[in-house]
Amino acid sequence: MDKLFKNIEGLKDYILELQTNMTRLPAVSPEQGGKGEFAKAQYLESELKKLKFDEIFRIDAPDANAEGGIRPNIIAKYYGKNKDVTLWLLAHMDVVPEGDRNLWNTEPFKLTLDADGDTIYGRGVEDNQQAVAAALGTAKAVMETGAEIPVNLGIMLLADEETGNKYGMDYVLKQRPDLFGKNDSFLVQDSGDPAGCEVEIAEKNVFWIKFTTEGKQCHGSMPASGNNAMYAGAQLIIRLKEGLYAKFDKRDALFAPDNSTFEPTKKDANVPNVNTIPGTDVFYMDCRMLPSYDPQLFKDEVASIVKSVEKDFKVKVTWEIIHSAVSKATSPEAPIVKLYCDAVKEVNKVEPKVLGVGGGTFAAEVRNLGLAAVVGSKIYGYPHVPNEKSSLKFTLDDIKVITYILMHLK
């Protein structure tokens, strides 16, 4: 381990180079106004080919709206002594848009290295480029030192995580249901904390819902001749938020926050001018439920609240779940969990904290296959915000954690 860790300490410039080149290739999905992951995937595939992987291949999901007409997913594998077991490192290539440019102190898609020589700024440097860089860094360290690994090292760089996985993990699993073995373990570095102590083994059930309220459009000076869909939609937001929080009020100390959450988020444009009362109004909610609840009870409660608004405001409301992720938990006794806890103690010098989170990751889909997955990383933990940042030292520590697990997995 000493030889490996010494090699990892020398990877700082390599990680900075990877981050610099990834940041200048904005992998924003077409749904969010971008071109997709094509250019970034080409770069990362070229970097993987510089290393000594035994397998490198792509599973491309067709998407006419994306650059190249595809959403690429890259898989690489380096064989270990036991070729029947693989430690998979899962990361996503796509990033969210920059948001309000005025809130950035640096160029979002041009990496900026802080005067401290460690902190880097740019969209995606944490979510999820740190994980991508850590995966490649792990492979480079193992290959350069000639370390014999007991199991295979697998890397998956996936598309479309930020908008629902339709072209990413979901597509890969449909095309290659044979890809994972029954004894494989998974590490997803897409959540964590600055101390690197969090060991996530469970996720809340996620439901993204689109609500469309239909009333009757009219002139703003004659509201009685129409039916204001925006007003009815606003009432629906209030009833949903208040009703769902009241109905599903359990607490579970495994999670932070320890309760289910139901929050209105995105709002579509309705009418282009101020003096028209909208006949149609659309908004979205991000709902994250403790896994102890039956998802059907949640859906039934949403339906009941919708009916109450339709009745009281004489509107028609349609709703659809545009994304959902319902998953099992990984056992705290699973070998990957115990090894991750040991690695946290060894590398980060902190006591591990086993927990559940509200954010959804690839681990949910893996766990639903009956496979063990851990989510964790040494990160600042502020994804999707202006001035997103990452730490080169944090990344090197993540590589050490991965390497420790890889060398002790059986």
Burial class of residue 6 (count of CB atoms within 10 Å of its CB; 0-12, 13-18, 19+): exposed
Q: How far apart are CA 300 and CA 305, in angstroms?
A: 9
Nearest to 279 by CA among 218, 222, 216, 219: 216
> CA-CA distances (angstroms) from residue 92 to 73, 300, 344, 348, 355?
9, 33, 23, 24, 22
Helix ranges (H only) for 146-197 are 169-175
Total Cβ atoms within 10 A of residue 199: 22
Q: How far apart are CA 20 and CA 382, in angstroms?
A: 19
Q: Residue 391 in contact with residue 118, Cβ under 8 Å?
A: yes
Nearest to 286 by CA among 164, 378, 375: 164
Q: Residue 124 in contact with residue 388, Cβ under 8 Å?
A: yes
Cis bond leading into 264, ω under 30°?
no
The beta strand positions in 159-290, using DSSP E, are 185-188, 198-203, 205-214, 218-219, 255-256, 261-267, 276-277, 280-289
Which amino acids are annotated catalytic?
A: 94, 161
Which tokens go with 335? 């070998």
**Owner of token pair 């000493």:** 2
> CA-CA distances (angstroms) from residue 331 to 145, 338, 344?
33, 10, 18
DSSP annotation of 195: T
